[in-house]
Amino acid sequence: MEEIDVIYNRYGTPMLRLLEDGRLVSFTGKSIGFIKESNLFNYSGEYCGWFENGIMRDQNGHCVGFGENASDFPAPFFPFKQFKPFPGFVEFEPFRPFTGFIPFKPLKTFSWSEKDPISLFFK
């Protein structure tokens, strides 16, 4: 599966790879979550936030991470991107569950979330 974007955290550290099937995987190859119509879900089917114009946001509208060509507004200051590690073998994707309720999206903020791109998917 081909990588179409890399998601960096607030410090510019590459955390996730976005694959062409909408799957988000760690650089060790573990499936973390997936995108369905710009909404982010974990593999329990829980809504975690959204990904729009290269920015990953939590349920409060705060920025969790950013992609290679992030262009959304409002957004916090993005740091310099660190070098990407060599990606590991991508595991088979777990079964995608029925996705839960998608709440109304709040206003986007200039703030960084307390969560990072991986912890966003674990409650």
Q: Could you tell me the pTM of the whole model?
A: 0.94
Cα 15 from Cα 28, distance rounded (Å) = 10
Residue 123 has pLDDT above 90, yes or no: no
Tell me the residue length of the chain: 123
Collect all residues with Cβ–Cβ distance below 8 Å to 37 and sequence separation of at least 6: none
Domain boundaries, the chain: 1-123
pLDDT in tens, 45-94: 999 999 999 999 999 999 999 999 999 999 999 999 999 999 989 999 99
